[in-house]
Structure formats: C-alpha cells, structure tokens
Structure 1
Amino acid sequence: MSSAGAGQQQFRYTQTPSKVLHLRNLPWECAEEELVELCKPFGKIVNTKCNVGANRNQAFVEFADLNQAISMVSYYASSSEPAQVRGKTVYIQYSNRQEIVNNKSSGDVVGNVLLVTIEGVEAGDVSIDVIHLVFSAFGFVHKIATFEKAAGFQALIQFSDSGTASEARNALDGRSIPRYLLPEHVTSCLLRISFSAHTDLNIKFQSHRSRDYTNPYLPVNPSAIDGTLQPTLGPDGKKKEPESNVLLASIENMQYAVTVDVLHTVFSAFGTVQKIAIFEKNGGMQALIQYPDVATAAVAKDSLEGHCIYDGGYCKLHLSYSRHTDLNVKVQI
C-alpha cells in the first residue's frame, strides 16, 4: 500500500507533457517575437498567448509537435544556464491545456491592424521593406511585425485608423505582390488579409522582423538586420563594392522603350528618387538613379537586381553602386 501511495503521490506532482508550455516571470509587456526567439530553436511554434496573468508576466507557447515541447522542457531542466528573456530568468512548465484558444475577435471585426498571411513564400522571400512598400500605398504604416505560424509567413500591419486598413484590405486581399519585388524562384505569392484584434503593436526594436515607423529613436537589433552589419565580403569571397546613394543600372533585352518616367516609376517604389540620368555605353543602355541615402539605394538594389521591368524577360535590370554621390543633371526643355 505504501509503495502504491508513494506512486500516486509522485504521479500527482508530475506534470503530463503537453505541446503547450506555460512560461512565468517574463519581463513586463513581453512581445510575441521575444517568445518566438526563445522557443524556436526547439521546434515550430504554431501559436502564442502573451501578457497573461494579473501582472501580465506569463505566457503560453504552443509547439507543432509534443516532442518539441518536451525537448525544450528537458533542455532547461538539465541546463546550467536558465531560460532568459531580457536578462530575466523564465520558468517553464507544461500547461494543463493541449492547445491555445485565443479569445480574439474574428477577422470580420474591422480594426486598424491587419493580419496578412503571405502564401507561397518562405520567411526570407519577402522582406519587411517590400511589405511596407505594398501597404504604404494606402496610407502611413505605423508598425509592422512579421512571424511564422502554422498558417505560414504572416505579418501584422498597423495603420492609423480602421478606414485606411479597410481600404488596404479591400484592394489587396487575394492579390499578389508584384513579381518584380519578389525573388525569381517565387512562382506565386498570394495575400490573405483579415483584421487583427490588436490595436497597437508592441515593437521593441527595429529589425528585419519588426519595424516602428513612428519612432526613429527605437534601438536597432544588430543581429537582426539582414546583412547590413555583416563583413563586407560577397558570396564569392571577394570584397563587396563600396555602397553609394546612387545606383548604376544596366538594362538588357531592350524590347520596349525605357524612359526617365518608366525608371522613376520603378525605382520610386522604394523611396524618393532625386535624380535620374540615362545614357548609352558600349552599345547598351544605362542609367544612374540617385536616392537621398545609401539605405534606400541598398533596398532598391537588393529588391530589383535581376528583375525585369516588363513581363516576358524584357528590360532586365543589373544594378551596382555608382561612384557618384550627386548627379549633375541638366534640365532638358
């Protein structure tokens, strides 16, 4: 009897594993992306619930598979280094629930934040700058947060009001991001858009996953900016060319006329184009496009390199940085 009693007592205090983990002692207003950062080494996260409890310092994280949750609990149970978020020790245990049910309003309730699922792409295929470019056509975008869920690559996009968000949703839901903004290997890219229950996204830092366009003083997470702080070596091991705010565009397969207006339309999608100069060199057409800063030029270069202005492979762009920094363009009457 005593051994059976001891067994029952042990069972009573032993948690049943669940693919949902309960995290305690989190920092105040812990963001979803901070939870994902902590948990993603152990498996695919399909749902989260942040800022739970009276002190809003608890959360739930749901893995796609039970073994992934067990792996995380086992790792920190035997590790000399505790789980930490922003320097705070986080306590992890199995939840008594088997899935997270969010009591959020449905996607039909109009709000100022859109939940966008981008079908047909991996997380690295669509940059946050491209998402910003597409959605800011409808009004000022305050904040963007991107993440991966079971549904795929998703983004939360915050506008100032529900009217602007509705306009963007009505125009873009079921549409595709323009091909010239996507990598060549992406064959289809569909936007599925609903309204989020969020009203104000909690962005902790600027990174390739999150941006707050209302706060220029928000710190940048150096490890999170795509390639901008990496060693200046290209894929071939050679030194990368010095960056500039002026791009040199070589245009091949010229089946259609490419005018200053055409180039302005293509390149101003990434920021203010200050000056454009077109000229012929070695029998081909080239152009210089001047932006106000190097960062804008870099985004345009990365997004447009190798893409065609016209469908069918016509007017293909090859881009490099120019040694110029300020073009001397004379106005033609």
Structure 2
Amino acid sequence: MSSSGQHQFRYTQTPSKVLHLRNLPWECSEEELVELCKPFGKIVNTKCNVGANRNQAFVEYADLNQAISMVSYFASASEPAQVRGKTVYIQYSNRHEIVNNKSPGDIPGNVLLVTMEGVQPGDVTIEVIHLVFSAFGFVHKIATFEKAAGFQALIQFSDVDTASAAKDALDGRSIPRYLLLEHVSSCNLRISYSAHTDLNIKFQSHRSRDYTNPYLPVNPTAFEGLAQPVVGADGIKKDQESNVLLAAIENMQYAVTVDVLHTVFSAFGTVQKIAIFEKNGQTQALVQYPDVSTASVAKDSLEGHCIYDGGYCS
C-alpha cells in the first residue's frame, strides 16, 4: 500500500454509500467532483463547498459496493485522488444519505438572505442593517431589493461560521425598536442561506454597499438631499441649507477613512451615510444627517478644524 494511501483513509469507519471528500480546491464544482467519482458507479447526489473553507464535499452512490470500490481503489493506488492537482482525502461519511431538502436556504453559506417583515422599502436603512449584522463579524457586502416576499437584503460575511452565528441569533427576531423610524412599529427578520458566495456590488448607494472596497464609485442617488448652490439677488452664490454636508479635506498627512469621518461627524448626531471620493486631486466626502439642523451644527463646529493635531486633515 502506498504512503499516500495511508493518509487518505480512516479504516475505523463503517462503510457507507456516502463518501466524505476533504482538501478539495476552494469552491470545487459539482462537475469536477462527478468527474473524479463517476468511474466507480452511479452518483445519485452530491453536496459541494461544505465546511468553513468550502473545500469539502459529500458524494452519494446508488449502491454501497460502488462507494467501497472507490475507497479501495485509492487505498491501494500509486497516485492519490486529485482534483486540480490537489490531493483529495476520501473517507466514508457517518451519514448514509445526503439530505438536501432541495432548498438552498438550508445549506450553510457565507451569504444570508434576509426578509424584513412588516416594513416598506426605505423604512429600514442600509446603515441599520449593517449595524445589526456587524455585531457578529465583519460584513463584506450588502445588497437590498424588493421582491414579492417583501423588502429583502443579501448580506455577505467572510465565512460560513460567522454567517451561521448571525442567522442563529437573529432569525425570527426583530430589529431593536430604537433603530427603526418613528412610523415603523416593528421589523421581523426571516433569514435563510443564499446560494450566492460573492455579491457583485457595482457602486455604493442607498441600496448596496461594499465595505471591502473604499474606492468603489458612489452612485449620487445614495444621497437624497444634495446641496445645490442658490444664487442670491446680488448674483453671489449662497449655500442652500441641506442635511448633506460636502467636506473637502486639506493637508492629508494621514489616511482619512469612512470610519474616521464617522467618528468625527457622529459627535453631532446620527450619521446616515458617508461617501469619500477624489475630485480635482483633493479628497472630499459627503456626509448625510437625518435633518438640516444637525448638519448645520456639525458644519459650524467643524469648519476649518483639523482631525489630527498639528494642522493635519483640516
């Protein structure tokens, strides 16, 4: 028996027509799995991308002897089982059939599908969704949309474990009342797993966010009350008051991130949205408050001040 074979099996296990394959390439496709296993018999079910690293899978044969023949073959083969050049470890599963329930919502993944019951689109902001789900780990991306089922969001975490923790804690629960708008009495969360693994967010907006990419362009519709200059009777432009501030940052000695700006501007009230962008070689940001009066206080307080001592980032 080859040395590679010795590492591949645990003989203590009872044979099963379901095989457990480990150390597969990341996000190995069902086709690749079937290609490896079909020489040994009829495959009736598979389950790919299992485990926190999405590198395990289950394969169910029609007959127990077919599973045994695959295990026996690679136990004594001179070359180990391989997919994309990676050695694959094969063992009998302790389950005797793969139960998929044919519902992707039951198969754990790193992206959650959240249905918000009892609210209209716009009643729950993307910031509130981010705040609620960030309690369980770093949220990579959020996309919100309206479907027949109601107002929904896809929320992407870095891994299955984090997503599972969020799902277990929040499924069937309500968003805390203090985070909801006054006219919204409650917002119940119904959570399942999505078949998605990586959301494609094209720009930051009030409907979608990618928290991993600070350079993603901002869709102007993300900001409801953009300040338009008003020209007075004397022909001089006046600033129309708005709940959105445009901040130009000078003397950028240190990086200014969304988090930094959030900390600075939150001192004056709830910051709903922030976008950072480059314009004419200068870093600028849009900061949205719920109302004009809060924005006005923040503007008066921060105008000309510096974020860091020594005159940096004014």
- Bin of the TM-score, shorter chain as denominator length: 0.3 to 0.5
TM-score (norm 2): 0.47
TM-score (norm 1): 0.44
Larger Rg: 2
